[in-house]
Each structure stands twice: as C-alpha cells, then as structure tokens.
C-alpha cells in the first residue's frame, strides 16, 4: 500500500512539476500607438493633414469676410445708411449659410477620409502578421490588445511589445 501511495504521489508531483513548467507567456500591444506611429509619416495621413489645413484656411478666409461685412454693417448702422445696412445683412446671411454648408461638407469629407485610414484592411492584416512574428520571436503564446481589453488591471512593461511591433513594421 505504501508503494502504491508513493507511486501515486510521485506521479502527482511529476504532473504538478510539469504543469508548473508550462507557463503561458503573454505580451501586450497598444494598437492605437502602433497605428499612430506607423501612419504619421504615411502619404495618406500627410494628404489628410494637407486637406484639413486647406479646408481650415478656406473656412478662416470666409469667416474673415463675414467679420469684415459685420464691421461694415455696424458702420452703416452708426451712420444711418439703411440701404447699406440691408445689403450687408443680406450678404452676411448668405455668406454665413454658405460657410456653414461648406464646413459641414468638408468635415464630413475629412471624417470619411479618416475613417478609411483607420479601417485600412491591408494595414491590419500586416499588423497581425507582424504581431505574430514578434510574438513568436519573443516566445509568447498570447498577445493582448491594450485597447480592447478592459480587464487588464496591471501589466509589467516587460511584456509590452508595442515598440518592437512598430520597429518591425517600419523595417518592412
């Protein structure tokens, strides 16, 4: 009986020792940081930023025109020039409406461009391949996206492979 108990205990201990040796190694990736770093120098993002700046410049130019008309309106009101007052009011109303429409259209256009940038399927395929390669090189069996997991309360910076993923993407 003692031999059976000793044998069972040694099998149990060996199993526990084996289970302890098979520890799951995991890493984390901040995909938002990867995305921002990877795309900040891309031609698509530069094009988006140029359009945004151009649209903002046009919006500012139109807003300045309206402010000039408002100053002229105030001056006409002060001088009692009723016909000029009416003309400036009409012009301000038309230009304000036009500016509002232009701003809405351009904001929608920029929103669509930004959405297309962030939904770039080829980028995400490449990102997943790169994460897999980095994870395998690091001996990891699991990688967690920091942006998708609200259950991570703490992690060691040692398991963060974000910079390695960015580095690998930049070398491609």
Q: What is the pLDDT of residue 3?
A: 54
Q: What is the pLDDT of residue 17?
A: 47
Q: pTM to 2 decimals? A: 0.52
Q: What is the pLDDT of residue 135?
A: 84
Q: How far is CA 104 from the centre of its chain?
A: 22
- What is the per-residue DSSP string for 58-78? HHHHHHHHHHHHHHHHHHHHH
pLDDT in tens, the chain (172 residues): 555 554 555 555 555 444 444 466 778 888 778 877 777 666 777 788 888 889 999 999 999 999 999 999 999 999 999 999 999 999 999 999 999 999 999 999 988 887 777 666 677 778 888 888 888 888 887 888 876 655 565 656 777 788 888 888 888 7
What are the residues facing 26 on neighbouring strands? 142
Task: Tell me the Ramachandran region of residue 63: left when phi exceeds 0, alpha when psi lies from -120 to 50, beta otherwise.
Answer: alpha
Run of H or E residues at 141 = none
146 burial via Cβ count (<10 Å: 0-12, 13-18, 19+): middle
**Chain segment 117-164, per-residue pLDDT in tens:** 766 667 777 888 888 888 888 888 788 887 665 556 565 677 778 888
Q: Using CA atoms, how far apart are residues 13 and 8, in angstroms rounded to an integer? A: 8
Cβ pair 140, 26 in contact under 8 A:
yes
Q: Helix, strand or coil for residue 150? A: coil
Return the structure tokens found at 79.
Answer: 């001088």
Nearest to 26 by CA among 130, 142, 136, 139: 142
Q: What is the pLDDT of residue 49?
A: 81
Q: What is the pLDDT of residue 41?
A: 65
Q: Using CA atoms, how far apart are residues 161 and 167, in angstroms rounded to an integer? A: 10
């Amino acid at each position: 009986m003692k031999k059976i108990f000793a044998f069972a205990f040694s099998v149990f201990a060996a199993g526990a020792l084996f289970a302890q040796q098979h520890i799951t190694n995991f890493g984390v990736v901040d995909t938002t940081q990867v995305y921002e770093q990877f795309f900040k120098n891309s031609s698509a993002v530069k094009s988006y930023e140029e359009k945004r700046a151009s649209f903002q410049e046009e919006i500012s130019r139109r807003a300045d025109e309206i402010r000039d008309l408002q100053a002229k309106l105030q001056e006409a009101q002060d001088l009692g020039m009723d016909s000029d007052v009416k003309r400036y009011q009409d012009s301000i109303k038309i230009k304000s409406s036009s500016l509002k429409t232009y701003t809405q259209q351009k904001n929608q256009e920029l929103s669509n461009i930004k959405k297309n940038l962030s939904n770039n399927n080829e980028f995400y395929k490449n990102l997943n391949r790169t994460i897999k390669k980095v994870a395998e090189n690091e001996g990891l069996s699991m990688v967690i996206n920091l942006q998708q997991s609200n259950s991570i309360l703490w992690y060691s910076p040692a398991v963060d492979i974000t910079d390695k993923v960015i580095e690998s993407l930049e070398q491609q």
